[in-house]
Amino acid sequence: MELRQDLQGLGERLRRLRYDPPAFRMAVAAVLVAVGMAGVTMPLGGSLETRRAALTLAEERARIAESLREYLDICGMAANRIAREANDVEWGGYVMEQLGRAGLRLVSQQPPEIKDLGEFRTIRFTLQARGTYEAITDFVDLLERGPRLIRIERLKVEIVNETIEVEIEALGLAGGNLEAIPENLGKEDTE
């Protein structure tokens, strides 16, 4: 009942408003502003803000993708040479295999020292061998260019009593979690 009276009162006020041209024009202007705000500016402005946010997100994704592409390119150059395993026995066997291929004689070898480096592991090994200068050069080359990623940290080649001895401290790299990095890392860019 009260609602009905309120509606009637509202209707009467609106009817009277038409007889007051300035107020009527103001009311029409207010309605237009309200329609403009509620019907156009706010919803479309909100939609625009949402899309701007989506674009900002896409641009951030693109920046990350660009970085990833660069990182993948770098990783791709060495990824195939990163050993999956960091087992000291297995690594010892690998070094011995290269030593034999080069034709060097092992003098002494210390057990590999394995350390974690993030998701990677480093394998530090030291050995002494004896052989010709060419065999030593071959051995070092096999280590540096071989199927495993190894860098020589320290090298000593010395002529001792008409023989040549070499002492090497090298560092190998293995990845405990490298499965996440695809085998074709960076290949798209390098091809």
Which of the residues 22 through 81 are near other proteins (CB under 8 A)?
A: 24-25, 28, 32, 35-36, 39-41, 44-45, 47-48, 51-52, 54-55, 57-62, 64-72, 74-75, 77-79
- Given candidates 19, 161, 162, 191, which one binds other proteins under the rule CB under 8 A? 19
113-152 positions binding other proteins, by CB under 8 A: 117-120, 122, 133, 136-138, 140-141, 143-145, 149, 151-152
Q: Does 187 bind other proteins (CB under 8 A)?
A: no
From the CB of 185, what's the least distance to other proteins, in Å?
Answer: 9
- Given candidates 86, 99, 173, 174, which one binds other proteins under the rule CB under 8 A? 173
Q: Does 21 bind other proteins (CB under 8 A)?
A: yes
From the CB of 109, what's the least distance to other proteins, in Å?
Answer: 18
Structure tokens at 109: 């070898």
Q: Does 84 bind other proteins (CB under 8 A)?
A: no
Q: Does 154 bind other proteins (CB under 8 A)?
A: yes
Q: Are 111 and 166 in contact (CB under 8 A)?
A: no
From the CB of 168, what's the least distance to other proteins, in Å?
Answer: 9
Quick one: 63 or 105, whose CB is closer to other proteins? 63
Q: Does 6 bind other proteins (CB under 8 A)?
A: no
Q: How far, in Å, CA of 124 to CA of 99, rounded?
A: 16
- Secondary structure of the chain in HEC code, one letter for each residue: CHHHHHHHHHHHHHHHHCCCHHHHHHHHHHHHHHHHHHHHHHHHHHHHHHHHHHHHHHHHHHHHHHHHHHHHHHHHHHHHHCECCCCHHHHHHHHHHHHHHHCCEEEEECCCEEEEECCEEEEEEEEEEEECHHHHHHHHHHHHHCCCCEEEEEEEEEEECCEEEEEEEEEEEEECCHHHCCCCCCHHHHC
From the CB of 82, what's the least distance to other proteins, in Å?
Answer: 8
